[in-house]
């Protein structure tokens, strides 16, 4: 399992990188953490002529604290999401889900940008970005596109980033006050990709009824699945056991997963319901974490 022959570029400023993407369009591939791309190359399922190693681009390694959002450079590694105080404070959903990604060594190398562009339907970060209504900054020579999550995740292992483009940063809106959230997943083993995952983010009124609900399920469709129907159902309701059951059965109905080696379609559908009630129940109590600024 040796990597196929390739050539190598390692620019130190973003413009150089964008130029290279433009110049070698189609035969060049961005190498970020390599934790998804290199296994594919080892199995010779990917065979890029040129690898554009973006690990020296300082522009992609910043975390900026704006008024309404946190802007996270595409090259921020999973472990940094877990450890960084700004992220912990302003985008606490990310550390919560990032802990479930792979293993220590994978988290120390893999990047948020790589995970979003790779767009695995069971991956944690795309799920979180989908639920948080994150925005992606996608750059090419002389152009920047800002894509909402709904337009970024296109299909199975396919994001909206064109071959001449690069994802440079992700903007995660800060949470409203009185927001609680919970995440859960079922995976074959610790660190494996989830079979199914669920993330609930709920903002409560003063009287504890739900002002805004966001619910996303991973592993049940080509891209992380926002269950708007369930979100609507939850809005203005209180998180009683009946309401939670109701939401779970909406999810159970709404998802249309495919079966594979590890989980049948029916089991996945079942888990979507189970995990929905688990995360909503936890949110009802307190949430895995809450945001009460």
Other residues' Cβ atoms within 10 Å of the Cβ of residue 256: 11
User: Which of 162/242 has CB closer to ligand FAD?
Assistant: 162
135 contact, one of ligand FAD, another protein, none, CB 5-8 Å limit per kind:
none
Find the binder of ligand FAD among 79, 115, 179, 276 (CB under 6 A).
115
> Counting contacts by CB under 6 A, is residue 39 touching ligand FAD?
yes
> Counting contacts by CB under 6 A, is residue 114 touching ligand FAD?
yes
Q: Which residues contact 203 (CB under 8 A, 6 or more apart)?
A: 175, 176, 177, 178, 179, 180, 210, 211, 212, 213
Find the binder of another protein among 26, 148, 150, 191 (CB under 8 A).
191
Nearest of 250, 214, 248, 35 to residue 123 by alpha carbon: 35
- Minimum distance of ligand FAD from residue 231's CB (angstroms): 23
- Minimum distance of another protein from residue 67's CB (angstroms): 32
Find the binder of ligand FAD among 9, 50, 82, 106 (CB under 6 A).
106
User: Which of 104/177 has CB closer to another protein?
Assistant: 104
Contacting ligand FAD within 15-34 (CB under 6 A): 29-34
> Counting contacts by CB under 6 A, is residue 98 touching ligand FAD?
no
Find the binder of ligand FAD among 118, 171, 268, 278 (CB under 6 A).
118
Assess contact for 210 and 197: CB atoms under 8 A: no
271 contact, one of ligand FAD, another protein, none, CB 5-8 Å limit per kind:
another protein
User: Which of 196/210 has CB closer to another protein?
Assistant: 196
Binding string, residues 12-51; x marks residues near another protein by CB under 8 A: ----x--xx---x---x--x--xx--xx--xxx----xxx
- Minimum distance of ligand FAD from residue 141's CB (angstroms): 14
Q: What is the three-state SS of the chain?
A: CCCCCCEEECCCCHHHHHHHHHHCCCCEEEECCCCCHHHHHHCCCCCCCEEEECCCCHHHHCEEECCCEEEEECCCEHHHHHHCHHHHHHCCHHHHHHCCCCCHHHHCCCEHHHHHHHCCCCCHHHHHHHHCCCEEEEEECCEEEEEEHHHHEEECCEECCCCCCEEEEEEEECCCCCEEEEEEEEECCCCCCEEEEEEEEEEECCCCCEEEEEEEEECCCCCCEECHHHHHHHCCCCCCHHHHHHHHHHHHHHCCCCCCCCCCHHHHHHHHHHHHHHHHHHHHHCCCEEECC
Find the binder of another protein among 14, 133, 141, 267 (CB under 8 A).
267
> Counting contacts by CB under 6 A, is residue 101 touching ligand FAD?
yes
> Counting contacts by CB under 8 A, is residue 233 touching another protein?
no
User: Which of 29/226 has CB closer to ligand FAD?
Assistant: 29
Tell me which residues touch ligand FAD (CB under 6 A).
29-37, 39, 74, 101-102, 106, 110-111, 113-115, 117-118, 120, 123-125, 161, 166-167, 191, 193
């Amino acid at each position: 399992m040796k990597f196929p022959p390739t050539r190598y570029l390692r620019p130190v400023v973003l413009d150089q990188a964008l130029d290279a993407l433009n110049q070698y369009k189609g035969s060049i591939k961005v190498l970020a953490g390599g934790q998804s791309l290199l296994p594919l190359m080892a199995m010779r399922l990917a065979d890029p002529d040129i690898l554009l190693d973006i690990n020296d681009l300082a522009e992609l390694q910043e975390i900026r604290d704006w008024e309404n959002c946190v802007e996270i450079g595409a090259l921020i590694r999973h472990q940094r999401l877990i450890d960084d105080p700004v992220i912990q404070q302003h985008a606490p959903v990310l550390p919560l889900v990032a802990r479930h990604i792979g293993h220590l060594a994978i988290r120390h190398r893999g990047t948020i940008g790589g995970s979003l562009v790779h767009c695995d339907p069971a991956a944690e970060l795309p799920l979180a970005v989908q639920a948080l209504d994150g925005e992606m900054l996608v750059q090419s020579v002389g152009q920047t596109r800002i894509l909402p999550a709904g337009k970024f995740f296109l299909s199975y292992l396919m994001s909206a980033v064109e071959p001449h483009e690069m994802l440079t940063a992700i903007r995660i809106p800060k949470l409203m006050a009185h927001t609680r959230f919970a995440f859960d997943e079922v995976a074959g083993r610790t660190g494996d990709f989830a079979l199914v995952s669920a993330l609930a983010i709920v903002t409560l009124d003063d009287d504890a009824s739900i002002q805004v609900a966001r619910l996303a399920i991973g592993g049940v469709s080509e891209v992380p699945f926002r269950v708007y129907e369930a979100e609507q159902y939850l809005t203005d309701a209180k998180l009683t056991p009946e309401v939670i059951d109701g939401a779970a059965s909406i999810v159970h109905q709404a998802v249309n997963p495919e079966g594979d080696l590890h989980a049948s379609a029916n089991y996945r559908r079942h888990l979507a319901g189970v995990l929905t009630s688990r995360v909503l129940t936890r949110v009802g109590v307190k949430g895995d974490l809450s945001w009460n600024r």
